[in-house]
Structure 1
Amino acid sequence: MRLYRLHSLQSLPIPKVKAWEFLSNPKNLATITPEHMGFHILSGGERDMFPGQIIQYKVIPFPGLSTRWVTEITHVLDGEYFVDEQRFGPYALWHHKHFLKTIPEGVVMEDIIDLKLPFGPLGRLVYPLIKKQLIKIFAYREQKLTELFGKVEGKSNFLHIKSI
């Protein structure tokens, strides 16, 4: 079994409370997801994040491939972090931790995603395509968050995907 980890850091010049208000509202996911992915919440996004919340999405990860994705918000510590886990969807495992940390210039958002591709060896063959797509998604997200909230000068953002 091969697991992959995506690790992302982005600094924003806003208070942690403002970052939390944005990130803990499921409706804002569409804002930070590339339009070509056809992201749409089907159910469960009416409230801010809470443990046990089930959210169902429709997404087009690759042209011509539409899928439903069901996640559960498993852990929440208001203003600090939340965790979403895939219950049904394109991955054999998807465990996504979102952390916020105050810095003198604003806030650092940290994402750690542990994922496993389906279909064993066949899944590993398509890993380069999945990795490329995830990098594009997170680059888009970084760009949109910078457009919305600005950029912390002198702080580098970070995105890395590796096998663990």
Structure 2
Amino acid sequence: MSKVYSIKTTQLIPVSLQTAWDFFSSPDNLQEITPNDMNFRTISKHHGNKMYPGQLIEYKVSPVLGIPLYWMTEITHVEDKNYFVDEQRFGPYSLWHHQHHFKVVDGGVEMTDIVHYKLPFWFLGDIAHALFVKRQLKKIFDYRYKTVAEKFK
């Protein structure tokens, strides 16, 4: 059985809570903070502009060798201006549970992402994690950190 892995990142964003919430809770903005080489695009026809529990959002993404993958997430929890959770329903992971937390602090908003994920294919998934998945996810979150810092100077 493959392992469950986790990532936690925290970033101070020098904006109001409302500004941070409005940006990060809009599915349309995810493409802006995802590396271009992943060819990420939202393909949902009816995902709406405002996030709500039960919302399904569909994407196409090419994380490895330019091969396009279908990914569907569900917004399972939303507490306005505090946190929201997206969980994969279909896609490359056996488990994907992504928490987005927002807290007002001196100088702006502290945003914390916590992701728990598991790869399919038992020990082969663990090997893939060691070879490239862990590095790919770090690259994505590093890109996101840099892009957010530049956007909200």
Task: Specify the TM-score bucket, using the shorter chain as the normaliser.
Answer: over 0.9
SS in 2 for 1:52: coil
Residue 61 of structure 1, CA deviation: 0.6
Pair 1:46 & 2:82 matched: no
SS in 1 for 2:68: strand
C-alpha distance in structure 1 between counterparts of 2:35 and 2:60, whole Å:
13
Q: Deviations over 1:3-60 (max 9, x none)?
A: 1011000001111111000001000000000011011111044321100000000000
| TM-score, structure 2 as length reference | 0.95
Pair 1:28 & 2:29 matched: yes
Q: Deviations over 1:44-86 (max 9, x none)?
A: 4432110000000000011232100000000000111000000
Is the Cα–Cα contact under 8 Å of residues 38 and 66 in structure 2 kept in the other structure?
Answer: no
- How many residues align? The count is 150
Question: Which residue of the partner structure matches residue 156 of structure 1?
Answer: none
Amino acid at match of 1:37: M
Question: Which residue of the partner structure matches residue 92 of structure 2?
Answer: 90
For structure 2, the 5+ residue unaligned runs are: none
For structure 1, the 5+ residue unaligned runs are: 151-164
User: Among 95, 106, 109, which residue is 1:107 paired with?
Assistant: 109
Of Structure 1 and Structure 2, which has the larger fraction of its residues in strand?
Answer: 1
User: Among 133, 137, 141, which residue is 2:136 paired with?
Assistant: 133
Question: Which residue of the partner structure matches residue 37 of structure 1?
Answer: 38
C-alpha distance in structure 2 between counterparts of 1:109 and 1:67, whole Å:
28
- What is the alpha-carbon root mean square deviation over aligned residues? 0.9
| TM-score, structure 1 as length reference | 0.89
